[in-house]
Amino acid sequence: MLEEEVEEKRVFKIPVGPQHPALKEFENFTFTVDGEKVIDVDFRIGYTHRGIEKLAESKTYIQNLYLCERICGICSGAHQGCYAQTVEELAGITAPPRGVYIRTLIWELERIHSHLLWLGVAAHEIGFDTLFMLIWRDREIVMDLLEMISGNRVNYAMNTIGGVRRDISDELKHKILKGLDILEERTKYYKEVCMKEQTILARAANVGILSKEKTLKLNAVGPTARASGVDVDIRRDDPYGAYDEVPFEVIVYDTCDVLARILVRVDETIQSILMSRWILENLPSGEIRTKFTRKIAENEVLGRVEAPRGELLYYIKSNGTDKPERLKVRTPTLANLLPVAEMLKGGYIADIPIVLAGIDPCFACMDRALFIDENSEKTWVWDKEQLRIYSIKWYKEHGKEVVRERWKQ
Amino acid sequence: METIELLILILKFVLFPGALFCIAYGWFLEWFDRKLYARFQNRIGPLLTGPKGVLQPFADFIKLLAKEDITPAGADKFGFTVTPLLTLVVSLFTLLFIPIASLSGILSLSGDLLLVLFISTVFGLLIMFAGYFSGNRFSIVGTERTGLQFVAYEIPFALSVISVALATRSLEIVNIVTYQVNTLKLPLIVIVPVAFIIYLISSLAKLEKIPFDVPEAETEIVAGWQVEYSGKKLAFFRLATDLKMVFVSGLAVALFLGGPYGPSIPGLEPVFYTIWFIIKTLVVMFILSNLRSLFARYRIDQVVRGFWKYLIPFAVLQILAVQLLIFLGVI
């Protein structure tokens, strides 16, 4: 009896989030720790819920392009491109080859920028601020390239239904090629740093292990799955855009740890640079977009792309008007959340940030509040306003208890 | 006459090379460290306050003094208030033993090397108290880590100092400095280079700098032991950290780099010695800043294992080497 009490006292809970330096967005993870060891992980999602899916039902297909882009700040191109592509299939139109190539170029440049951003964040999480600063300096090159092409650094607004909105001139092509050369050289250097630097190896090798079986069972996607030896890539398995023509390799590592996740992303960045160069050199001539009629007959389509973080799913249902009946998004972070809980168990507190960052989480993408009633297996979706009313009501009833409990802890 | 001598002594303690000089120099070292660290990372660093941003640490201090000072409900109020003050006072006190403007510090006793070592150990204890008293979960983890890291770095630190004491056969800082100036006519780093390296690595851990900033690892446990401190208390802790930098680099200069001694014009020794002291400490700081921009943060178990597996055996070997040199009559 007494021993049990002592046992209980040794174990205590550490909250990471909703606000924590290791998380760039709001999400709550509660870790049960014994000294430096993590015993259990519990997470609560939904802090960045914005009611986007509900909002999409009240906007036209064209307006939704810009709404979908704002689901995520980093993979905005993937979201918008996936949406545009899915609506094209819904309406039964095809974008002209030049438009598709430019769209694919944006996807690949975005992958470079997203992976370099992640690499910097990963370096910061293990306390290697010098690498963080240098990588982010070089990431500016690809940001500038994207700005030159689209006029924007983050939300490119390049895609439209039936193609893209801006063309790439020959002059611009040369500038992009020049920028890609510098990026390739720098990325290769960073790969060398990540493979040789002893402190990185000490912090990343054999940390946050996720076995191949668990990966398949928990349905991890993207670089997280590829770092655990699972050979999946939507670009190759279900080609979309120009990916059936662009030559590229799917990078797979099988050491299942954080180091593998780092190396997968560095190698993918190099692949993306090569792909971007190939696309620019083989850019077909012709129109960049086709006409699109505003109304779409009743239909439903499930579209998917390989976003920088993994498989991104869009389900759109049309009902004959110019607005979608239903828009459903499944982002890669949601798929990777259960695997990350598995990786964290049994590790050290010191490994929490790098392992959490290891899946390249993007919580704002993920939070679109789906409620599941465990007893009746009923599911329903709330928008922002309903949530707001609910939260006000709930806090009126329970507010005092919550505050008291927080103080107790 | 006596009153004048007393006045001079008071001025020595308060103005130069005592408290005020050390505090100002601490801020300067912090600026130097931040600027270098920024340049190594291809950033600019402090820029706007004063020429090249040199007054930035001072501005930070003033700003923190004006900030709201919160004592959390779960904290031990007395300990929470006293620890920052105590840390500041202790770090100022150790500086009195560091030779700055002459070959001896303001205070000099026989066996003061041991006293300085002891007080520098108190730094680690005070940090543990600081974390423990604030009663926050992150602080508790930070405190645990401080304790563990303390076990790791304190012994190699002491061993490296002991090899110096053995080589000079003295436990008095002034004797160690005069030995280098008069008897050896060389800085001791020539005789005990390994001890100097071990000293630098353990002082990185003592100052909680990357790769040994485990107790306050920002991305892991927010700010570790100092997470609850704000306002004046945080300002005192930060000032104490700056003073610790002066202490660590000053002791390194005294023990390994021949103290503040250098070529000077007779009669103007205090001025020249101070300049030599500043140059030598800046060299030490340069090495420390360089080291901290090169690595990622280690995990606490890796820190402890590394120190015990590599640094302590090397420190012992260094002591044996010094013994051998004494036996052969080289020193």
Look at residue B275 and tell me if it is in a domain.
yes
Asked whether the beta carbons of A216 and A229 are under 8 A apart, the reply is no
Nearest to residue B251, comparing CAs of B152, B110, B125, B115?
A: B115
Task: Kindly state the average pLDDT of the residues B4-11.
Answer: 85
Q: Which residue has the tokens 């009946």?
A: A325
How much is the pLDDT for A199?
Answer: 79
pLDDT tens digit sequence for A284-320: 888 888 888 888 888 888 888 888 888 888 898 888 8
- The total of other beta-carbon atoms located within 10 Å of residue A10's CB is 10
pLDDT tens digit sequence for A144-189: 899 888 888 888 888 888 888 888 888 888 889 999 999 999 999 9
Asked whether the beta carbons of B35 and B53 are under 8 A apart, the reply is yes
What percentage of chain A exceeds 90 in pLDDT? 7
Q: Which stretch of A82-86, B142-146, B152-156 has the lowest confidence by average pLDDT?
A: B142-146
Q: Is the pLDDT of residue B28 over 90?
A: yes
* Chain A residue at shortest CA distance from B142: A36
Task: Kindly state the average pLDDT of the residues B283-298.
Answer: 86
Q: Which stretch of A11-25, A245-259, A376-390 has the lowest confidence by average pLDDT?
A: A376-390
Pairing mode of beta strands A163-164, A299-307: unpaired
> CA A231, CA A311: separation in Å to the nearest integer?
13
Q: Is A129 within 8 Å of B293 when comparing Cβ atoms?
A: yes
Look at residue A28 and tell me if it is in a domain.
no
Residues of A within 8 A of B41 (CB-CB) are: 129-130, 133-134
Beta strand residue intervals within A169-270, DSSP E: none
What percentage of chain B exceeds 70 in pLDDT? 98
ω into A361 cis (within 30 of 0)? no
> CA A305, CA A311: separation in Å to the nearest integer?
6
Q: Which stretch of A124-133, A145-154, B151-160 has the lowest confidence by average pLDDT?
A: A124-133
Look at residue B42 and tell me if it is in a domain.
no
Task: Kindly state the average pLDDT of the residues A343-349.
Answer: 77
How much is the pLDDT for B280?
Answer: 92
Find how far residue A369's CA is from the centre of its chain.
17
Give the torsion sign (CA, A23, A28, A32, A38). negative
Which of A7-21, A181-195, B219-233: highest mean pLDDT?
A: A181-195
Q: Which long-range contacts (CB under 8 A, 24 or more apart) does B5-13 make?
A: B12/B106, B13/B96, B13/B106
- Using a CB–CB cut-off of 8 Å, the residues of A that contact B are 12-15, 20-22, 33, 35-36, 123-131, 133-134, 137, 197, 199-200, 202-203, 348-353, 407
Q: What kind and span of H or E run contains A101?
A: helix A97-125
When comparing pLDDT for B132 and A7, which is higher? B132
How much is the pLDDT for B300?
Answer: 80
Residues of A within 8 A of B145 (CB-CB) are: 36
> CA B15, CA B25: separation in Å to the nearest integer?
12
**Whole domain around residue A166: which residue ranges?**
52-333
The total number of structural domains in chain B stands at 1
B82 touches chain A (CB under 8 A): no
- The total of other beta-carbon atoms located within 10 Å of residue A409's CB is 9
Backbone phi and psi for residue A164, each to the nearest 5 degrees, phi listed first: -125, 165
CB proximity list for A43: less than 8 A, separation 6 or greater: A27, A28, A29, A30, A337, A341
Measured CA angle at B257 (ends B253, B263), to 5 deg: 105
Q: Is the pLDDT of residue A389 over 50?
A: yes
Residues of A within 8 A of B210 (CB-CB) are: 127-129
Residues of B within 8 A of A129 (CB-CB) are: 41, 210, 293
Task: Kindly state the average pLDDT of the residues A224-242.
Answer: 87
Look at residue A44 and tell me if it is in a domain.
no
Q: Is A350 within 8 Å of B137 when comparing Cβ atoms?
A: no
> CA A108, CA A146: separation in Å to the nearest integer?
11
Interface A-B: count of C-beta contacts within 8 A: 86
How much is the pLDDT for A1?
Answer: 40
Q: Is the pLDDT of residue A65 over 80?
A: yes
How much is the pLDDT for B281?
Answer: 92
Look at residue A74 and tell me if it is in a domain.
yes
How much is the pLDDT for A382?
Answer: 54
Look at residue A367 and tell me if it is in a domain.
no
B221 touches chain A (CB under 8 A): yes
Asked whether the beta carbons of B41 and A131 are under 8 A apart, the reply is no
Look at residue A290 and tell me if it is in a domain.
yes
Residues of B within 8 A of A122 (CB-CB) are: none
How much is the pLDDT for A373?
Answer: 44
B73 touches chain A (CB under 8 A): yes
How much is the pLDDT for A371?
Answer: 45
**Residue A258 to chain B, least CA–CA distance (Å):** 15
Q: What is the DSSP string of A7-39?
A: HHHHEEEEEE-SS-TT-SS--EEEEEEETTEEE
**Whole domain around residue B280: which residue ranges?**
59-328
Measured CA angle at B260 (ends B256, B262), to 5 deg: 100
The total number of structural domains in chain A stands at 1
> CA B142, CA B66: separation in Å to the nearest integer?
26
Task: Categorize the per-residue pLDDT at B160 as very low, low, confident or very high, splitting at 50, 70 and 90.
Answer: very high
Q: What is the DSSP string of A128-162?
A: -HHHHHHHHHHHHHHHHHHHHHHS-SS----EETT
Q: What kind and span of H or E run contains B92?
A: helix B77-95
The neighbouring-strand residues paired with A30 are A15, A42
**Residue A124 to chain B, least CA–CA distance (Å):** 8
Q: What kind and span of H or E run contains A381?
A: strand A378-381
Mutate to test the interface with B, among A31, A36, A196 (most CBs of B within 10 A): A36
Backbone phi and psi for residue A108, each to the nearest 5 degrees, phi listed first: -75, -40
Look at residue A400 and tell me if it is in a domain.
no
**Residue A267 to chain B, least CA–CA distance (Å):** 21
How much is the pLDDT for A387?
Answer: 59
**Residue B294 to chain A, least CA–CA distance (Å):** 7
> CA A277, CA B244: separation in Å to the nearest integer?
53
**CATH number for the domain that contains residue A314:** 1.10.645.10
CA dist A169 → A149, B84, B136 (Å): 9, 63, 59
Task: Categorize the per-residue pLDDT at A71 as very low, low, confident or very high, splitting at 50, 70 and 90.
Answer: confident
Q: What is the DSSP string of A267-299?
A: HHHHHHHHHHHHHHHTPPPS-SB----S---SE
> CA B121, CA B115: separation in Å to the nearest integer?
10
Mean pLDDT computed over every residue of chain A = 81
Task: Categorize the per-residue pLDDT at A9 as very low, low, confident or very high, splitting at 50, 70 and 90.
Answer: low
Q: Which stretch of A216-230, A369-383, B45-59, B99-113 has the lowest confidence by average pLDDT?
A: A369-383
Q: What kind and span of H or E run contains B12?
A: helix B2-14
Nearest to residue A253, comparing CAs of A200, A202, A191?
A: A191
| Terminal alpha carbon distance of chain A | 23
CB proximity list for B196: less than 8 A, separation 6 or greater: B160, B189, B252, B256
Q: Which stretch of A135-139, B117-121, B137-141, B273-277 has the lowest confidence by average pLDDT?
A: B137-141
Look at residue A33 and tell me if it is in a domain.
no
B300 touches chain A (CB under 8 A): yes
Task: Kindly state the average pLDDT of the residues A232-257.
Answer: 87
Mutate to test the interface with A, among B143, B291, B299 (most CBs of A within 10 A): B299
How much is the pLDDT for B31?
Answer: 92
Look at residue A194 and tell me if it is in a domain.
yes
Task: Categorize the per-residue pLDDT at A230 as very low, low, confident or very high, splitting at 50, 70 and 90.
Answer: confident
CB proximity list for B108: less than 8 A, separation 6 or greater: B97, B172, B173, B174
How much is the pLDDT for A390?
Answer: 66
Q: Which stretch of A13-22, A63-72, A240-249 has the lowest confidence by average pLDDT?
A: A13-22
Task: Kindly state the average pLDDT of the residues A5-26.
Answer: 66
**Residue B220 to chain A, least CA–CA distance (Å):** 6
Backbone phi and psi for residue A320, each to the nearest 5 degrees, phi listed first: 90, -10
Please name the member of B42, B295, B296 whose beta carbon is closest to the beta carbon of A133. B42
